[in-house]
Amino acid sequence: MAVPMYTGRVTDWIQNQGKPDAFTEAITIIAIMAAVSAVMEFIGDLIYNVTMSNVHSTVQADVFQAVLKQEIAFFDSTPTGNLVSRITTDTNTMSEALSERLSLLMWYTFRMLFVFFFMVKQSWKLSLLTSMGLPVIWVLPKYTAHIRERISVKIQDALAKANQVATETFSCIKTVKCFANEDGETKRYERCMEDLYALNKIEAAAYAGTTSASSMTTLIMKVSILYYGSMLVTRGTVSSGELVSFILYELQFASALTALLHSYPEVKKAVGGSEKIFEYLERKPQIPPEGTLAPKCLKGHVQFQNVKFAYSNDIDNVILKDVSLEIKPGQITALVGLNRSGKSTCVKLLERFYQPQGGQILLDGEPLDSYKDAYLRQKISVVSQDCALFARSVRENIKYGCPDVSDEDMYQAARLASAHNFIMGLSNGYDTDAGEKGGQLSGGQKQRITIARALIRQPTILVLDNATSDLDSENEQQVYQALLSERVNNCSVLLISTKMSVVERADHIIVLHDGMVEAEGPHHQLLENSQLYAQLVKKEMQ
């Protein structure tokens, strides 16, 4: 900040041919200050950029963690592409804007204040003239900053929609290819891009208007200062050196002001773009508080008592109307019924993915909500029809969530799932990459790996929800022979299957119809007492 002052003194020395020592002193001080400023700027930029990188990584990790903690209903209503866009694109936009613009905003704010102090010190009259133009310069950017903040929110939403289209298309690429709808998906993505382009044009117009208005005002201010400054020099109120110093200060002041006018709307834009990020960070999961129970011994006795449930609290579409059923410890209990009778919904409630709107679920006589989440996930293993594998090795997929389990336990779980032999036949055995969503494996192989992943936990309650739908008859018989005959360490088994030849092996069968328990009992008894069960058995035989 002091460099222009000594530049003015050098100007006076040249004009008045003053003492050589004064010139040498001024040049020396300028050189020292320039060197110190360079070192301090390097240290400041280094600390700031390292800090902002840390902030970006921390915020992105926090948003990811906050999203993972949300209830399942949140993911049902929020497209995956939107979530990915918020976690990656929005956090990147925010951190990039802040790392660059916030640094400039702070830097030039202090620079402007210090420069103005020196300007007043040189000439309060010229400083007053400069101040008269500031209100005009500030009003327009402040107004346009609010406009750009609102536009930024819309731009982020439009970008999230475009990302959702891309994510959905690529994740269902086989279906897109099968129906030859590449052009349709391209047009759909192009429509999203057109909406984004329209918003970007509005933002560009606001930016251009701000820039041109501030440049014109700054130019008028400079001309006015030169005109009035020359009059003060003519009258002898200020020296030529002081006018030179003031003009140099005013140039710095104008550049700092211009930088502020550019940075402030960008920071406001980053604030607008970060709204969804902080919505996720501040959102509380819509689930009851976690329980405290984690007993060492769990029998696996499950009771549904007058349970009522509807997705999204839709009272016109009730799935479970008044369900009461019991899963006894160490027994195989089967749930059968037509589609939308509520079988899989019972599983989701048992996993505590959703909360019943009426009645309660008891586990060993205690409400399900009173148990710790991690404890329940360890004691209840579910194998569903939709096999979810990760793009990792087969070993990592089987040990998912249990990385410390021994290889011997992994081999035993794989044998029970009738998976060990085919895994050893893969190119790298258990270290073979499963591919994206298990794409390198067949449907039956994926199902057997997910069964092994469930068994490796040695659960107290094992839920098989159409777990062998992709297996051929031979492998299916092998899996059920291991699972149902050996009872997998005497755990409670809840079996859901459309194959009645498998269901009839259960100790107890519960027939669901239209969200209610129609009948229950062993296979031979239900053939006589339940018309629906008899029809299901007859259809399979036919």
DSSP assigned state of 523: H
Query: pLDDT tens digits for 476-506?
Result: 776 776 666 555 557 888 888 888 888 888 8
Write down the CATH number for the domain with range 3-143+204-282: 1.20.1560.10
- CA–CA distance, 348 with 362 (Å, rounded to integer): 14
Token pair in block for residue 493? 């088994």
CA 260 to chain CA mean position, Å? 32
pLDDT value for 39: 92
Task: Return the sign of the alpha-carbon dihedral for residues 52, 55, 56, 57.
Answer: positive
Sequence spans of domains, the chain: 3-143+204-282, 302-541
Token pair in block for residue 17? 């041919």
211 in helix, strand or coil?
helix
Q: Which residues contact 350 (CB under 8 A, 6 or more apart)?
A: 302, 361, 368, 380, 461, 463, 494
Q: What is the pTM of this model?
A: 0.66
Q: Which residues contact 100 (CB under 8 A, 6 or more apart)?
A: 266
Q: What percent of the chain has pLDDT over 90?
A: 5
Average pLDDT of the residues in 303-321: 84
Average pLDDT of the residues in 148-170: 81
Average pLDDT of the residues in 46-53: 84
Q: Which residues contact 12 (CB under 8 A, 6 or more apart)?
A: 18, 239, 240, 241
- CA–CA distance, 205 with 207 (Å, rounded to integer): 5
pLDDT value for 43: 92
pLDDT value for 81: 77
pLDDT over threshold 80, residue 391: yes
Q: Which of 166-170, 190-194, 355-359 has the lowest average pLDDT?
A: 166-170
Q: Which of 129-133, 330-334, 340-344 has the lowest average pLDDT?
A: 129-133
CATH architecture of the domain 302-541 equals 3-Layer(aba) Sandwich (3.40)
CA atoms within 13 A on the CB side of 446: 21
User: 308 - beta bridge partners?
Assistant: 358
Average pLDDT of the residues in 12-23: 64
pLDDT value for 159: 83
Higher local confidence (pLDDT), 86 or 527: 527
538 in helix, strand or coil?
helix
Residue whose structure tokens are 């050098």: 10
Alpha helices in 172-181 (DSSP H): 173-178
pLDDT value for 137: 65
pLDDT value for 231: 82
CA 445 to chain CA mean position, Å? 31
Give which of 388, 335, 367, 284 is closest to 513, Cα–Cα: 335
| Average pLDDT value over all residues in the chain | 82
Query: pLDDT tens digits for 359-375?
Result: 999 999 899 989 988 88
pLDDT over threshold 60, residue 156: yes
pLDDT over threshold 60, residue 40: yes
Strand-strand pairing, 380-383 and 366-367? unpaired
- CA–CA distance, 78 with 122 (Å, rounded to integer): 61
Alpha helices in 312-439 (DSSP H): 343-350, 373-379, 394-398, 407-416, 420-424
Q: Cα angle at 327 between 322 and 332, to 5 degrees? A: 130
Give which of 159, 111, 108, 148 is closest to 4, Cα–Cα: 111
Task: Walk across the sheet containing 516-521 and list its strands.
Answer: 380-383, 461-465, 492-496, 332-337, 508-513, 516-521
List phi, psi (to 5°) of 285.
-60, 135
Strand-strand pairing, 461-465 and 492-496? parallel
Residue type, position 49, single letter: N
**What DSSP line would sit under 57-107, residue for residue?**
HHHHHHHHHHHHTS-HHHHHHS-HHHHHHIIIIIHHHHHHHIIIIIHHHHH
Task: Return the sign of the alpha-carbon dihedral for residues 381, 61, 203, 194.
Answer: negative
User: 33 - beta bridge partners?
Assistant: none
pLDDT value for 270: 73
Q: Which of 265-274, 295-304, 329-338 has the lowest average pLDDT?
A: 265-274
